[in-house]
């Protein structure tokens, strides 16, 4: 079975829809991690972006790390995960962006140490979910601060009905989402197409 179909099937079988348009997938992605599925996901992102001369894969801790790591392994490049922290920390040696969470209604800073990105880098951004796109927006801000080029964005599960998809589309950056969800209404997962 193709990876995208495998992932859809897994979402249908093991995903549960929670109030507020939230898809709970904590038995294979967000808490327990299906390592073999993650490996296949990494292989698929690596295949999609193989000609892009990527030097590093970048995500945000914590749930992005699993798919980002397998992607980095398949591309043969390092993984960087931006760290979340409170705004008070000393930030001289860090590239920092503020990320607003609609779900939690708080802003958090995410940062990457300046030692780990430079102008020769061409990065691939990977994340587990795309909802409002604020995490990706923060990573794009960091990419700009670090003067690196962005080859694309790979998302495991996109909630296409929220703001993130359009936000990235407007930026013109290549977006590859492995599963695209059109709706979570009435407790039911409906995929795009
Ligand atoms: P966004 O703008 O970055 O797209 O996310 P948003 O603020 O809407 O969501 C906040 C957090 O909730 C993010 O994780 C995001 O990945 C996650 N999220 C959004 N929608 C869903 C969903 O339907 N199901 C699940 N399981 N997660 C969702 P985070 O708190 O920043 O990261 P982490 O600590 O979990 O890695
Ligand atoms: Na998450
Ligand atoms: Na995430």
Which residue minimizes the CA distance to atom 26 of ligand 1?
24
Closest ligand 1 atom, residue 130 Cα? 4
User: Which domains are present in the chain?
Assistant: 3-85+94-191 (3.40.50.2020)
Share of the chain above pLDDT 70, in %: 97
The model's pLDDT over 32-78, given as tens digits with 9 standing for 90+, comes to: 999 999 999 999 999 999 999 999 999 999 999 999 999 999 999 99
Which residue minimizes the CA distance to atom 6 of ligand 1?
101
ω into 2 cis (within 30 of 0): no
The model's pLDDT over 159-191, given as tens digits with 9 standing for 90+, comes to: 999 999 999 999 999 999 999 999 999 999 999
| Cα 120 to ligand 1 centre (Å) | 30
Sole residue written with tokens 């790390």: 65
Q: Is 147 annotated as a binding residue?
A: no
**Token duo for residue 110:** 């995410």
Burial pattern 74-100, b for ≥16 Cβ within 10 A else e, equals bbebebbbbbeeeeeeeeeebbbbebe
| Cα 62 to ligand 3 centre (Å) | 6
Rounded to whole angstroms, what are the CA distances from 104 to 9, 20, 100, 101, 151?
A: 29, 12, 8, 5, 30
Which residues partner with 58 through β-bridges?
Answer: 80, 125
pLDDT on residue 102: 83
Closest ligand 1 atom, residue 26 Cα? 26
Total residues belonging to the chain: 193
C-beta neighbour count of 138 within 10 angstroms: 23
Which residue minimizes the CA distance to atom 31 of ligand 1?
135
**Does residue 103 have a pLDDT over 90?**
no
**Dist. CA 15–CA 25, nearest whole Å:** 5
**Dist. CA 65–CA 57, nearest whole Å:** 10
For 48-101, list the strands marked E by DSSP: 56-60, 79-85, 94-101
C-beta neighbour count of 41 within 10 angstroms: 28
pLDDT on residue 89: 64
| Cα 117 to ligand 3 centre (Å) | 20
**Cβ-Cβ contacts under 8 Å for 27 (sequence gap 6 or more):** 14, 34
Q: What's the pTM? A: 0.96
pLDDT on residue 193: 85
């Amino acid at each position: 079975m193709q990876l995208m179909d495998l992932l859809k099937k897994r979402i249908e079988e093991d995903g549960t829809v929670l109030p507020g348009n939230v898809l709970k997938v904590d038995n294979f992605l967000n808490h327990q991690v299906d390592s073999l599925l993650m490996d296949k996901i990494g292989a698929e992102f690596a295949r999609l972006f193989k000609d892009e001369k990527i030097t590093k894969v970048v995500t945000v801790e914590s749930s992005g790390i699993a798919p980002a790591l397998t992607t980095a392994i398949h591309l043969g490049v390092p993984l960087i995960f931006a760290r979340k922290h409170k705004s008070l920390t000393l930030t001289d040696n860090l590239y920092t962006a503020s990320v607003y969470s609609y779900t939690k209604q708080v802003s958090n800073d995410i940062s990457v140490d300046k030692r780990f990105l430079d102008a020769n880098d061409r990065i691939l951004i990977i994340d587990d979910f795309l909802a409002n796109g604020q995490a990706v927006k923060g990573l794009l801000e960091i990419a700009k601060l670090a003067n690196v080029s962005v080859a694309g964005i790979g998302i495991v599960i996109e909630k296409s009905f929220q703001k993130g998809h359009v936000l990235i589309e407007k930026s013109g950056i290549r977006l590859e989402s492995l599963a695209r969800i059109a709706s979570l209404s009435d407790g039911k997962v409906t995929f795009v197409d």
